Structure 1
Amino acid sequence: MKIAILGAGNMGLSFSKSFLKYELIKPENLHLITRNESKFPKIAEEFPKSRISAFEDVPELDADLIIIAVKPQDFAHAAENFRFQLKEKQMVLSIMAGIKIGKIQKLLGHPLVVRAMPNSPTLLGMGITGYTAAEGISFSQLIHIERLLNSTGRSVYLEDENLLDSVTALSGSGPAYFYYIVDAMIKAGTEMGIEENLSRLFVQQTMLGAYHLINNSEKSLEELIQDVASKGGTTEAALKTFNDSRLKELLKNGILNAEKRAKELNG
């Protein structure tokens, strides 16, 4: 199988590394295409056996699967300036936020489109990706796409494409929400007099331990909270402040605004 990746940024390169790591593709069958030629030396160092090109230097794409990993704001301009035409049996996998299958099909003049929304932990093979497909994509083709996506973590097929905007807001953007909370906790630690590196260690290990408790406990999240929050104790004091500030509602509204922005990106 030959794969071309349009937009060799963080996500495009993390997908490439996963495909190569699990030997789903040979290095010489990977074609990385970017607008930023200053990235060529670094990309060549990481992918010495793969082909690297600039957008304007690709008159024809010799690939079975084309992964579109450009920024959604840049897609219309990029599509208008591609020098190549897609062939009948080539498949397109979009990992752009917000851009719907219909718009991709229209701008590329091509029907075989799968749309996916990964998140940044794909860099470690621990991501989660929601995906859906246009009509005309066969079951065997979908299974092959799923195999590629699963090399970066886990994947979930969604029949309703509209839910991909929700996935974008929830898991696509989700890592940043956790980083935001972790950063606030580390800063609180330093304000209380704990050295920053130690505060980071306490918070990161707490986050890791909490994740494993969620994953391995049969208790609900409310029950897990109550296990920590004894009446009249320190946790209860913190939770009261969060509730008085409507923190949970603020977080929820932020995620809903992320979904709204994902819908706007389709134009």
Structure 2
Amino acid sequence: MKVGIIGTGNMGTILISAFIDSLAVRPSELMIINRTAQKAEALKLQYPDLLVGKSNSEVAEFADILFVCVKPLEYYALIERISPYLTNDKLVVSITSPISVEQLEELTPCSVARAIPSITNRALSGASLITYGKRCSEDQKKNLEQLMGCISTPVEIDQAITRVASDLSSCGPAFFSYLLQAYIESAVEETEISKEQATYLVSEMIIGMGKLLEKEIYTLPTLMKKVCVKGGVTGEALKVFDAELGPLFNHVIDRTHKKYEEDCELVERQFTKQY
């Protein structure tokens, strides 16, 4: 199975490295291209057998599964340009939430799907969010699920929950990195611990917590109960969370959905304008 990737930004690069490191794709069966050629060539230095295409059309013609990793407002022009090479047997995969599979199906006769990755996939972990178009065959679904399964846990989702699912799986690492950084800074400000030691302890804590969940030793609720001894320090701290956290995450989800709706509207205008 030949794989193509157009765009080697953050997520495109994560997919390339994860596919190769997991042995999901041999470098000789993976062709990439980027608008800034140096970025693609830098990846070839890292993986010498990796193929670098001379044009988007060459990558499209090469690939059985083509991942499009460009900005949402670049999709229409790109797909229109490479459409002569998107034959019925190919599968085009979008990785961005504002582009729906229905919109892509309007542009090309080939099968389409969406696979939203997470930065955690670089460690061959975490979830990826899959939505299939109506034309996807069972074999194409199986191939995409196997491919994404090498670097993640694929989760099929409905269009209606695309944004919130992305908040939880893809944006989550940034959200909780922010909170953990604030936790570290407060510890340094309030006590004599060094930033280096606080960072080390918090990093080890989050890794260990992940392993507890991965091994299903505890769920999130039971983990909290096990740590929170009645009348202890943790319980007192959780009272602060109850009093001060408030609707923080409600506001976060509201903000991401408003931005998502703005992006979807811009994409829709672009698609509608072309007809």
TM bin (shorter chain): 0.7 to 0.9
Match of 2:16 in 1: 16
Q: Identify which of 164, 167, 175 aligns with 1:166.
A: 164
Q: 1:209 to 1:59 in 2, by over 3 A?
A: closer
- Does residue 125 of the first structure (1) align with residue 124 of the second (2)? yes
Q: Kindly provide the amino acid, as one letter, of the partner of residue 238 in structure 2.
A: L
Match of 2:67 in 1: 67
Give 4+ residue runs of structure 1 displaced > 6 Å after superposition.
none
**DSSP 3-state at the match of 1:61:** helix
In 1, the alpha carbon distance for the partners of 2:249 and 2:60 equals 46
**DSSP 3-state at the match of 1:66:** strand
TM-score by length of 2: 0.84
**DSSP 3-state at the match of 2:209:** helix
Please, which moves more after superposition, 23-32 or 198-207? 23-32
Q: Identify which of 174, 177, 180 aligns with 1:179.
A: 177
Q: Kindly provide the amino acid, as one letter, of the partner of residue 11 in structure 2.
A: M
In 1, the alpha carbon distance for the partners of 2:154 and 2:5 equals 19
Aligned residues of 2:105 and 2:133 also touching (Cα < 8 A): no
Deviation at 1:263, TM superposition (A): 4.0
In 2, the alpha carbon distance for the partners of 1:223 and 1:144 equals 37
**DSSP 3-state at the match of 1:198:** helix
In 1, the alpha carbon distance for the partners of 2:233 and 2:217 equals 25
Q: 1:146 to 1:202 in 2, by over 3 A?
A: same
Q: 1:238 to 1:55 in 2, by over 3 A?
A: farther
- Does residue 147 of the first structure (1) align with residue 140 of the second (2)? no
Q: 1:86 to 1:56 in 2, by over 3 A?
A: closer
Q: Kindly provide the amino acid, as one letter, of the partner of residue 88 in structure 2.
A: E
Contiguous gaps of at least 5 residues in structure 2: 266-275
- Does residue 262 of the first structure (1) align with residue 235 of the second (2)? no
Deviation at 1:64, TM superposition (A): 1.1
Q: Kindly provide the amino acid, as one letter, of the partner of residue 31 in structure 1.
A: M
Aligned residues of 1:146 and 1:155 also touching (Cα < 8 A): yes
Deviation at 1:194, TM superposition (A): 0.9
In 1, the alpha carbon distance for the partners of 2:112 and 2:174 equals 28
Aligned length: 264
In 2, the alpha carbon distance for the partners of 1:2 and 1:193 equals 55
Match of 1:157 in 2: 156
**DSSP 3-state at the match of 2:11:** helix
**DSSP 3-state at the match of 2:66:** strand
Aligned residues of 1:97 and 1:265 also touching (Cα < 8 A): no
- Does residue 5 of the first structure (1) align with residue 8 of the second (2)? no
Aligned residues of 2:53 and 2:59 also touching (Cα < 8 A): no
Match of 2:95 in 1: 95
In 1, the alpha carbon distance for the partners of 2:20 and 2:62 equals 18
Q: Kindly provide the amino acid, as one letter, of the partner of residue 65 in structure 1.
A: I
Match of 1:250 in 2: 248
Match of 1:43 in 2: 43
Match of 2:137 in 1: 138
Deviation at 1:144, TM superposition (A): 0.8
Q: 1:41 to 1:130 in 2, by over 3 A?
A: closer
Q: Kindly provide the amino acid, as one letter, of the partner of residue 3 in structure 2.
A: I
**DSSP 3-state at the match of 2:109:** coil
Q: 1:218 to 1:32 in 2, by over 3 A?
A: closer
**DSSP 3-state at the match of 2:31:** strand
